[in-house]
Amino acid sequence: MSGQREKTPIPEVASSFALGFIVICLVIYILNVARSIVIPFVIAVFVWYLINAMARGFGKVSFGGRKVPRRVCFTMAILFLVLGVWDIFELISKNIANVAVAAPLYQRNLEALVSKVVLFLNMEHQPTVQELVSYLNLGSIMTAMVKMLSGLAGKTMIVMFYTGFLLYEQRFFDRKISGMIQTPETKRQVRHILKNIDIKMQRYIWVKTLMSALTGILTFVILKYWQVDFAAFWGVMAFFLNFIPYVGSLASIALPAIIALVQFNDMTTFLIVLAGLSMVQGVIGQGLDPFMMGESLNLSPIFIISSLAMWGMIWGVPGMFLSIPILAMIMITLSQFSTTRPIAVLLSKTGVIDSNGDGKKSVKK
């Protein structure tokens, strides 16, 4: 009947879901197998976003009523980033040997401390010291962190190579879109999607980098004041771990506090360091960070955790760092199309999104 909507046959729907599931599995397999190529490129994309965000920030500064030229802004952003990366790698290289030497000593102190705690509690079915210590192997944890940072350093040249080409080609992006798409309506929609992703990713990466840097500096100051070993190293780790939602914040509090405990063997110092680091994470993570970020990403916490677990499984630690920006890109893109918009609503935190993919209502001019 012409007045009734035609229903899609059930076998057709089932085959579409099956095909989609196969495609998703194939994509995950390719991402895992080609991780050595894909991860540096994805990191380069976010470095490129950071450079653009910094350049945009420098472009807002004016001297004598004249704004800083665009090329100067990009040059300043690249120099700032290169100097920051260089300082981090210098710090890592200086601390690698010291961390490797100190880790066994910390582990012995931790074993003695755990033994005292077990005896003090006097549990009826008390676990052995070896069982408890196996969950807190500081040597393995610190060595894994050093290897992770060293691995990132080894990929720096590849990331810089990709980033350089992205910066060179970004001037031609709009021309390529015009050449690829002939329909004006589709062209406007594609540009609208890319603009939304660009603005939100630049804001996220810029604010997150700024907040992570502030977290790292305050962590360093607290640990340095209480003379905890490797304060600068833990400050750098706090900077990187702040990009990992929930888990990273807990790790950047717990690990330095445990080091303070086994270093001084003093519960008072441990509690003071623990309270100080928790305060830093609480003020920045629960106050300043959401205030600066706003609701621009509007992501559901349950899907943040799921994305963290999934990308961690596919790409390991780098996947954890990239999980939130990737999820945000997916949600913004899905929100642009009527067929995939319900999925974007499901991924959102508030359940309300506009065509920009955030939780704010559109304003008609």
Structure confidence by residue, pLDDT tens digits, 274-297:
999 999 998 888 778 777 765 556
Indicate whether this model's pTM tops 0.85. Answer: no
With a cut of 60, say whether residue 70 has pLDDT above it.
yes
Phi, psi of 166 (to 5 degrees): -65, -40
Residue for token digits 């894909």? 38
- How sure is the predictor about 271, in pLDDT bands with cuts at 50, 70 and 90? very high
With a cut of 60, say whether residue 359 has pLDDT above it.
no
Structure confidence by residue, pLDDT tens digits, 3-54:
455 555 666 666 777 787 888 888 888 888 888 888 889 889 888 988 988 8
pLDDT above 70 coverage of the chain, percent: 77
Tell which wins on pLDDT, 364 or 305: 305
Q: Are 300 and 279 in contact (CB under 8 A)?
A: no
Determine which of 22-36, 107-121, 221-235 has the lowest per-residue pLDDT on average.
107-121
CA end-to-end span of the chain = 41
| Average of per-residue pLDDT across 297-321 | 84
Structure confidence by residue, pLDDT tens digits, 152-205:
666 778 888 899 999 988 888 888 877 888 788 888 888 887 887 787 777 778
* Nearest Cα to Cα of residue 51 among 205, 154, 155: 205
Residue 297, both tokens: 């990403």
* Residue 153 confidence (pLDDT): 61
* Residue 362 confidence (pLDDT): 40
pLDDT above 90 coverage of the chain, percent: 8
With a cut of 60, say whether residue 298 has pLDDT above it.
yes
* Residue 148 confidence (pLDDT): 63
- How sure is the predictor about 272, in pLDDT bands with cuts at 50, 70 and 90? very high
Q: Are 55 and 202 in contact (CB under 8 A)?
A: no
Helices (H), the chain: 10-33, 35-59, 70-121, 129-134, 138-154, 156-169, 173-180, 184-225, 231-241, 247-264, 267-283, 289-293, 301-315, 317-334, 341-347
If you average pLDDT over every residue of the chain, what do you get?
78
Largest CA distance in the chain: 82
Sign of the four-CA dihedral 300, 301, 305, 308: positive
- How sure is the predictor about 249, in pLDDT bands with cuts at 50, 70 and 90? confident
3-class secondary structure for 281-300?
HHHHHHHHHHHHHCCCCCEC
